[in-house]
Amino acid sequence: MKKGIYEIRVFDSFSSAHHLRNYKGRCERVHGHNWKVELVVSGKELKNGMLIDFTILKEKLKGVLDILDHRDLNTIPFFKKRNPTSENICLYIYGKIEKALEKYPLSIKSVTVWENEKQCASYVKVR
């Protein structure tokens, strides 16, 4: 049998407001979204038949999203110098999740953020 990797994904959501700086258009005004987030992790090693318990992965993601939930994203220090775009929200979540999962033998494959059902952005770390 060929060697491969396992991949699992979890979803969660949060609501927040934001506005884009140095941008001409509707998004320069304060507005809100009900964001949907997908976290994908991968790895080769299973422990007890699992890459990581879904409950743990969901708890770690929820812990990060709780920081963003019902907040004006422009007031969060990370977004003081970066526009709170879908792309930068992915990067923020990726960094926080990477830290939260550092003791687990897996890699974060991607973080995807939907600002509505028709558009999303992803951050995928290149190895």
- Residuewise pLDDT in 10s, the chain (127 residues): 678 999 999 999 999 999 999 989 888 899 999 999 999 999 999 999 999 999 999 999 999 999 999 999 999 999 999 999 999 999 999 999 999 999 999 999 999 999 999 999 999 988 7
Ramachandran class of 95: left when φ > 0, alpha when ψ lies in -120 to 50, beta otherwise? alpha
- Has residue 86 been placed in a domain? yes
What domain count does the chain have?
A: 1
pLDDT of residue 14: 98
pLDDT of residue 2: 72
pLDDT of residue 1: 64
Identify the CATH number of the domain in which residue 55 sits.
3.30.479.10
Cα 77 from Cα 121, distance rounded (Å) = 21
- What are the residue numbers of the active site? 27, 70, 115
Give the domain range for residue 95: 6-123
- Has residue 110 been placed in a domain? yes
Ramachandran class of 110: left when φ > 0, alpha when ψ lies in -120 to 50, beta otherwise? beta
- Has residue 109 been placed in a domain? yes
- Has residue 1 been placed in a domain? no
The answer to whether the beta carbons of residues 9 and 37 sit under 8 Å apart is no
Q: Phi and psi at residue 83, in whole multiples of 5°?
A: -65, 140
